[in-house]
Amino acid sequence: GDSVTQTEGLVTLTKGLPVMLNCTYQTTYSPFLFWYVQHLNEAPKLLLKSSTDNKRTEHQGFYATLHKSSSSFHLQKSSVQLSDSALYFCALSSSSGSWQLIFGSGTQLTVMP
């Protein structure tokens, strides 16, 4: 079945440094990938999405490229800010008719001064 793997549960960085959060997926259908961000005590919100192979998509300084050859959709930012501290989820749109999102376990990003 469909699945999403995020290998880092916790990432701690100093402000101004680059970050990459890993996401790999498994599906037998055409992949539709999403990154959602959840700040403390808030609802998850869409950060960016993609279904196009090898095309970089960007939003709010974050970017990701869907690579179907490696089944990956890593999230990157060149210089993290304190306000980027949040829980980041990678998600895959289900191939079933529910259009549900299959979420990874999430990566908690903490940015230190």
Partner 1 sequence: EAAVTQSPRSKVAVTGGKVTLSCHQTNNHDYMYWYRQDTGHGLRLIHYSYVADSTEKGDIPDGYKASRPSQENFSLILELASLSQTAVYFCASSGGGAYAEQFFGPGTRLTVL
CA distance 58 to 75: 10
CB of 102 to partner 1, least distance (A): 8
Task: Rule CB under 8 A: say whether 103 interacts with partner 1.
Answer: yes
Give the number of C-alpha atoms closer than 13 A to the C-alpha of residue 7, restricted to the C-beta side. 10
Best CA proximity match to 31, nearest among 6, 56, 4, 7: 4
| Location of structure tokens 């990938």 | 33
Total residue length of the chain = 113
Contact pick of 32, 35, 62, 73 for partner 1 (by CB under 8 A): 32
CB of 105 to partner 1, least distance (A): 5
CB of 61 to partner 1, least distance (A): 19
Task: Rule CB under 8 A: say whether 99 interacts with partner 1.
Answer: yes
Task: Rule CB under 8 A: say whether 39 interacts with partner 1.
Answer: no
Site string for partner 1, 55-94 (x = CB under 8 A): ----------------------------------x---x-
Best CA proximity match to 31, nearest among 63, 64, 72, 62: 72
CA distance 99 to 91: 12
What does the binding site for partner 1 look like in residue numbers (CB under 8 A)? 4, 9, 30, 32, 34, 42-46, 49, 51, 89, 93, 98-101, 103-106
